[in-house]
Amino acid sequence: MKKTFFYLFSVVAMTACNNTSETENLTESDQPITTLRKSCPSEDIRAELLKSDAAARERYANIESAVNAFQGKVLADGSVDIPVVVNVLYKTSAENISDAKIAEQIAILNADFAGTNADASKIPTEFSGIKAGDTKVRFHLVKTVRKATTKTKWGTNDAMKKASSGGIDATTPSSYFNLWVVGNMGGILGYATFPESAGLWNDGVVIAAPYFGKTGATAPYNLGRTATHEVGHYLNLRHIWGDAACGNDLVADTPTQPSANYGKPTYPLYKTCSGTSRSVMFMNYMDYVDDAAMFMFSAGQKTRTQAVLTSTGARSGLRVY
Ligand code: ARG
Ligand code: ZN
Ligand code: CA
């Protein structure tokens, strides 16, 4: 392993593509690109090496087969680093959210899914043993697409996801997580598609601009948690109350609760289902509480998200880039 590293390092050092002294003081526009390309002899040097050195040929073959076996952005610790495309539809300049705000939202997703959010310290001891901690899901921005619109209000009919209805077409939704930001959806903060929609034209998450990111966002949904919640759905998580009276979210470690919680409940909050009173996990991202009141996924929820991201899962396409 070490040997391979030193080998690669020395080859890179020896064959670095220099613009030689002739081209040094020329700008790119002065120098035709073909000439610049010709000045990189790395492959020629490699060909000589491989011709004369059987051991080098073997190392080369091993490297290439490892590259082919590698599942894209699955990190060394098993984390899946999801590539994100942000599609911005704006009428006002405030709706044309800045690159800085997009970076801020991605950082919030990364912290919440890693369990490194500052308010994770508020997880009650009762639930600390079943918190997800690091879900091993990460996000990185690959592209931002912006489009001006005259539309002042959007609905949940996916119009924002199609150029033919005034929206922006998704970028390869089987391999990229598409996130649309629109100016206004009335009382709706955001919505998501579940994994059965993986790769379809409408696959992804929509968020209304006032609830995207943190800086300047609208209270009490101003900590970027609408995205955390919607991405939870995108990765197969249900609402913690199971969308029915004392419903089932298909997660064993989230206590059954009668309905959604709102606002900023005080812990412990006891609720009764089928005659049993339980302390409910209202601080879960998949409840409806204020952004400041939600700060955890459970271990069972982590397992569900991981299941759709394995190499045979419905969202395995996100592992590629
Ligand atoms: N889809 C939910 C809604 O539109 C999102 C709730 C998110 N909750 C939050 N605290 N940000 O109401
Ligand atoms: Zn929801
Ligand atoms: Ca449950």
Euclidean distance between CA atoms 41 and 44, whole angstroms: 5
Asked whether residue 73 carries a pLDDT value surpassing 90, the answer given is no
CA angle 149, 139, 161 (to 5 degrees): 25
**Predicted local distance difference test score (pLDDT) of residue 15:** 40
CA–centroid distance, residue 227 to ligand 3 (Å): 22
* Ligand 1 pocket mutation, candidates 117, 154, 180, 189, criterion most atoms within 8 A of CB: 189
Considering the candidates 28, 64, 95, 230, report the single residue annotated as catalytic: 230
Asked whether residue 44 carries a pLDDT value surpassing 90, the answer given is no
Cis peptide before 258, with omega less than 30 degrees from 0? no
Residue found under tokens 């002065």: 30
The finding on whether 305 has its CB within 6 A of some atom of ligand 1 is no
**173-205: pLDDT as tens digits:** 999 999 999 999 999 999 999 999 999 999 999
Domains of the chain: 8-14+28-239+299-320 (3.40.390.10)
CA–centroid distance, residue 133 to ligand 3 (Å): 18
Size (the chain), residues: 321
190-192, strands of its sheet edge to edge: 137-148, 80-90, 177-182, 205-208, 190-192
Q: Looking at residues 302-306, what average pLDDT do you find?
A: 92
**Predicted local distance difference test score (pLDDT) of residue 321:** 54
**Predicted local distance difference test score (pLDDT) of residue 313:** 87
* Ligand 1 pocket mutation, candidates 288, 290, 291, 296, criterion most atoms within 8 A of CB: 288
Given pLDDT bands bounded at 50, 70 and 90, which one contains residue 20?
A: very low
The finding on whether 210 has its CB within 6 A of some atom of ligand 1 is no
Residues with Cβ within 5 Å of ion ligand 3?
A: 249, 251, 254
Asked whether residue 77 carries a pLDDT value surpassing 90, the answer given is no
Residue found under tokens 């081209």: 23
Q: Which atom of ligand 1 is nearest to the CA of 192?
A: 1
Our answer to whether residue 196 is catalytic in this structure is: no
Mean pLDDT over the full length of the chain: 87
Q: Which letter does DSSP use for residue 170 in this model?
A: P
CA–centroid distance, residue 144 to ligand 2 (Å): 24
Given pLDDT bands bounded at 50, 70 and 90, which one contains residue 168?
A: very high
Asked whether residue 30 carries a pLDDT value surpassing 50, the answer given is no
By CB atoms closer than 10 A (0-12, 13-18, 19+), residue 212 is buried
Which is higher by pLDDT, 183 or 78? 183
CA–centroid distance, residue 207 to ligand 1 (Å): 9
**Token pair for residue 222?**
């101003």
